[in-house]
Amino acid sequence: MTANAQKETLNFQAEVKQLLNLVVHSLYSNKEIFLRELISNASDASDKLRFEALSDSALLENDTELKIKVSFDEKARTITISDNGIGMTRDEVIDNLGTIAKSGTREFLAHMSGDQKKDAHLIGQFGVGFYSAFIIADKVTVISRRAGLTSEHGVRWESNGEGEYTIANVDKASRGTDIILHLKEGEDEFLNDWRLRTIITKYSDHINIPVMMRKLPEMDEKPEENAPVEWESVNRATALWVLPKNTITDEQYKEHYKHLAHDYEEPLAWSHNQVEGGNLDYTSLLYLPAHAPFDLWQKDKQHGLKLYIQRVFIMDQVEQFLPHYLRFMRGVVDTNALPLNISREILQDNPTINKLRSALVKRILDLLEKIAKDEPEKYATFWQQFGTVLKEGPAEDFANRAKVAKLLRFASTHTDTSAQTTSLDDYISRMKPEQKKIYYVTAETFNAAKSSPHLEIFRKNNIEVLLLSDRIDEWLVNHLAEYEGKTLQSVAKGELNIDEIASTETEKEKEEHKQAEEKAKVEFDGVISHVKTILGDQVKDVRISNRLTNSPACLVSDENDMGLQLQRLLKAAGQDIAEIKPIFELNPEHPLLLKLKAEADQERFSDLTHILFGQAILAEGAQLKDPAAFVSRVNKLLLD
Ligand code: ADP
């Protein structure tokens, strides 16, 4: 076969071009990481081969020692990283190096501003990978051959990283992949044995397989002409997680994370556990990333841990180990308790997997609890990145509901800022002696929550209310009925127990309040039934309110009805739910109500009623059914 058989020139997918640009421009100050990335890929390729060879040993082709070789050629100004891992077919090379398969990439890259400094942080959310080769190279050649195919099925891919690449069929005797970097002008510092060794030990000491370099001649030794090249291992080549914990430094943990997660940034924390004996032998090394990946909310995105069985890599992204609400965790599980020939199907509902999963969930929740307690600032970072994901926990994980609830953080009227820093324990510690419930309000936005009319009576009596405005919050409170024996109560639901809220009032004041309320009920009886007739089937009921001080009116849900926010959420998600009507509450002390009561003109009474009802809807952060009619009514009254 000629070297250029079936040579084609193809274009990179548009996203690849953007990503390449991003990588090259964001990482110029940390160039050396190209080697870590390429070694990580080589090591993944070796893991994959080792796994496939479990069921098809022919793939090993008499070349059973998996290793990575790093070499350089000063004259040609190239660095080569070779592995004898799984390799790639022609189609795989085109797919893997010419396109980005991750869904959501286009949307993610659309966020790029073109300002290199601003865009640099985006790479942390994406991962660096193969394209980091172009940080130091102006041409990259990849020669690969898939394990199990004959030597003429080799492929040669080449690109200068601009818009195109070429691909051709070549002969490749050995299985695996060679990556040849043709260095840019000015990058010669990397053509240096000591420099490369330092980078390898710094970043790749504990990947599973040896990273080899040419053995250097001893000082006084003159290399013989044509002597065979001798290779030696530069790294330690033992999986980090099998080492005794007390021999591992923080730096090593961090580097391992970067390899494992293909993340450019350091992890926030980790938990390393080696459990021996008993009926569940396993080692886990779990990492909490410092930032959310761009595709955290992508529905089809796979999450999960790497599974090793007896040190052999079995599968990536094993979702069965983690509930969905902990999908941000990265890491490995290595166990002797599962058979080597396990398949993805067997992983479903396997009792050992279920046991491992419970153990891992506990480790993760313990880790989070420890950070929350000892390092609140770090916890705040975690919360900002992953808080909304953790809020899925109480609905998903019944068994750990209380443990997850302890980790939740909310905005609250205690600070009145949007920062989610209040825990349920904080809240309880500030509860009034007579207070029995944990109060919250849900709204579309933080501002709508903060200025909700429902809060008026609580503010007046200095009772803290949690301000919930994340989309998931309604779902959360729907599944978290109580915490530490205290009911979670929406301030917009049901009748308020004024005794509990106005606990600072004396008995006499309370009695006076009650009487005033009764009196208002009688006095406004006519108004209430009139309003009811006007609003008709838009409301479930109309009644006098005891929760308002400044606002004329508000909407409330019946105790057992679905909250208004949740209704809106489910509707937005396309669910067909029967409309649940609100209760319309009126503040008898408000001047507008007095005006309403005194209004003799039927039309004006009706307009004012509709306006009050519309205002109450708006105060919920919700939308009016007929905004134009609302505006024209307001205008009519303004002109009066
Ligand atoms: P990632 O590793 O995050 O998937 P990369 O851009 O680093 O992204 O690599 C893209 C894909 O190319 C990898 O997922 C893998 O399938 C393939 N690949 C890269 N390097 C190698 C290699 N040395 N051997 C085999 N396949 C490789």
Residues 486 and 520 in one domain: no
Buried b (16+ CB within 10 A) or exposed e, 548-580: bbebbbbbbbeeebbbbbbbbbeeeeeeeeeee
Instruction: Report whether pLDDT(504) > 70.
Output: no
Look at the chain and report how many structural domains it folds into: 4
- Ligand 1 atom 10 nearest Cα: 96
Q: How many angstroms separate the alpha carbon of residue 41 from the centre of ligand 1? A: 5
Residues 368 and 380 in one domain: no
Phi, psi of 8 (to 5 degrees): -135, 150
Residue 220 resides in a domain: no
Would you state the pLDDT for residue 338?
85
**Residue 47 near ligand 1, beta carbon < 6 Å:** no
pLDDT band (50, 70, 90) for residue 503: low
Beta-bridge partner residues of 437: 487
Would you state the pLDDT for residue 538?
93
The residues, ordered by sequence, that sit 6+ positions from 155 with a Cβ below 8 Å of its Cβ are 88, 89, 90, 93, 142, 143, 144, 145, 167, 168, 169, 170, 172
Rounded Cα distance, 329 and 409, in Å: 19
CA angle (405, 407, 412) in 5-degree steps: 85
Query: Final residue of a domain: which of 352, 374, 396?
Result: 374
pLDDT digits (tens, 9 = 90+) for 288-347: 999 998 888 877 777 889 999 888 888 888 888 899 999 999 999 999 888 777 777 777
Residue 200 resides in a domain: yes
Residue 495 resides in a domain: yes
Residue 115 resides in a domain: yes
The SS3 call for residue 83 is strand
Residue 307: which H helix or E strand, with range? strand 305-309
Residues 549 and 627 in one domain: yes
Residues 79 and 111 in one domain: yes
pLDDT digits (tens, 9 = 90+) for 153-198: 999 999 999 989 999 999 999 999 999 999 999 999 999 999 999 9
| Residues composing the chain | 640
- Ligand 1 atom 20 nearest Cα: 41
Under a CB-based contact definition with an 8 Å cutoff, are residues 206 and 256 in contact? yes
Residue 223 resides in a domain: no
Phi, psi of 378 (to 5 degrees): -65, -40
| CATH at residue 516 | 1.20.120.790
Residue 35 resides in a domain: yes
Residues 611 and 467 in one domain: no
pLDDT digits (tens, 9 = 90+) for 441-489: 998 889 999 999 999 999 988 999 999 999 899 889 999 999 999 999 9
Residue 230 resides in a domain: no
Name the average pLDDT for the chain: 90
pLDDT band (50, 70, 90) for residue 5: confident
Would you state the pLDDT for residue 225?
73
**Residue 293 near ligand 1, beta carbon < 6 Å:** no
**Residue 88 near ligand 1, beta carbon < 6 Å:** yes
**Residue 127 near ligand 1, beta carbon < 6 Å:** yes
Under a CB-based contact definition with an 8 Å cutoff, are residues 136 and 109 in contact? no
- Ligand 1 atom 11 nearest Cα: 96
pLDDT digits (tens, 9 = 90+) for 552-593: 999 998 887 777 777 777 777 778 877 788 999 999 999 999
Residues 335 and 199 in one domain: no
Instruction: Report whether pLDDT(231) > 90.
Output: yes
Least confident of 162-176, 273-287, 508-522, 608-622: 508-522
Q: How many angstroms separate the alpha carbon of residue 280 from the centre of ligand 1? A: 33
**Residue 203 near ligand 1, beta carbon < 6 Å:** no
The SS3 call for residue 177 is strand
CA angle (582, 588, 593) in 5-degree steps: 85
Would you state the pLDDT for residue 2?
53
Q: Would you give the distance in Å from CA 307 to the centre of its chain?
A: 21
Would you state the pLDDT for residue 610?
96
Under a CB-based contact definition with an 8 Å cutoff, are residues 136 and 35 in contact? no
**Residue 401 near ligand 1, beta carbon < 6 Å:** no
For 539, the token pair is: 């409301």
pLDDT band (50, 70, 90) for residue 27: confident
Residues 25 and 132 in one domain: yes
Rounded Cα distance, 108 and 122, in Å: 9
The sign of the dihedral angle between the CA atoms of 316, 318, 323, 324 is positive
**Residue 84 near ligand 1, beta carbon < 6 Å:** no
Q: Which residue has the higher pLDDT, 147 or 219?
A: 147
The residues, ordered by sequence, that sit 6+ positions from 225 with a Cβ below 8 Å of its Cβ are none
Query: Final residue of a domain: which of 374, 401, 425?
Result: 374
Would you state the pLDDT for residue 10?
94
Alpha helices in 121-156 (DSSP H): 122-126, 133-136
Residue 145: which H helix or E strand, with range? strand 137-145
Q: Which residue has the higher pLDDT, 402 or 263?
A: 402
Which of 126, 102, 108, 153 is closest to 23 using CA atoms?
A: 126
- Ligand 1 atom 21 nearest Cα: 41
**Beta carbons within 10 angstroms of residue 188's beta carbon:** 12
The residues, ordered by sequence, that sit 6+ positions from 596 with a Cβ below 8 Å of its Cβ are 527, 531, 605, 608, 609, 612
Q: How many angstroms separate the alpha carbon of residue 96 from the centre of ligand 1? A: 6
**Residue 124 near ligand 1, beta carbon < 6 Å:** no
Residues 555 and 407 in one domain: no
* Beta strand ranges found along 171-304 (DSSP E): 176-183, 211-214, 231-233, 269-275, 282-288
Q: Which residue has the higher pLDDT, 85 or 110?
A: 85
The SS3 call for residue 439 is strand
Query: How are beta strands 583-586 and 541-544 bridged, if at all?
Result: parallel
Q: Which residue has the higher pLDDT, 231 or 121?
A: 231
Residues 16 and 69 in one domain: yes
Task: Please report the atom of ligand 1 found closest to the CA of residue 40.
Answer: 2
Query: Final residue of a domain: which of 500, 523, 553?
Result: 500
Residues 409 and 284 in one domain: no
For 451, the token pair is: 């200025």
**Residue 424 near ligand 1, beta carbon < 6 Å:** no
Rounded Cα distance, 609 and 619, in Å: 15
**Residue 142 near ligand 1, beta carbon < 6 Å:** no
For 367, the token pair is: 């880790």
| CATH at residue 465 | 3.40.50.11260
Beta-bridge partner residues of 542: 584
Under a CB-based contact definition with an 8 Å cutoff, are residues 174 and 57 in contact? no
**Residue 140 near ligand 1, beta carbon < 6 Å:** no
For 425, the token pair is: 């324990």
Q: How many angstroms separate the alpha carbon of residue 294 from the centre of ligand 1? A: 19
Residues 75 and 175 in one domain: yes
* Block residue for tokens 């209310």: 465
Beta-bridge partner residues of 333: 284, 307
Under a CB-based contact definition with an 8 Å cutoff, are residues 382 and 368 in contact? yes
Buried b (16+ CB within 10 A) or exposed e, 243-268: eeeeebeeeebebbbbbbbbbbbebb
- Ligand 1 atom 13 nearest Cα: 96
Rounded Cα distance, 425 and 292, in Å: 26
Q: Domain limits at 481?
A: 376-500
- Ligand 1 atom 14 nearest Cα: 96
* Beta strand ranges found along 413-485 (DSSP E): 437-442, 466-468, 482-483
The sign of the dihedral angle between the CA atoms of 221, 227, 233, 234 is positive
Q: Quick one: what percent of the chain has pLDDT higher than 90? A: 62
**Residue 146 near ligand 1, beta carbon < 6 Å:** no
Residue 585: which H helix or E strand, with range? strand 583-586
Residue 234 resides in a domain: no
Would you state the pLDDT for residue 412?
98
Instruction: Report whether pLDDT(3) > 70.
Output: no
Under a CB-based contact definition with an 8 Å cutoff, are residues 208 and 236 in contact? no
pLDDT band (50, 70, 90) for residue 250: very high
Residues 85 and 175 in one domain: yes
pLDDT digits (tens, 9 = 90+) for 406-427: 999 999 999 999 999 999 999 9
| CATH at residue 247 | 3.30.230.80
Alpha helices in 127-192 (DSSP H): 133-136
Rounded Cα distance, 145 and 343, in Å: 26
**Residue 89 near ligand 1, beta carbon < 6 Å:** no
The SS3 call for residue 305 is strand
pLDDT digits (tens, 9 = 90+) for 68-106: 999 999 999 999 999 999 999 999 999 999 988 777 788
- Ligand 1 atom 17 nearest Cα: 96
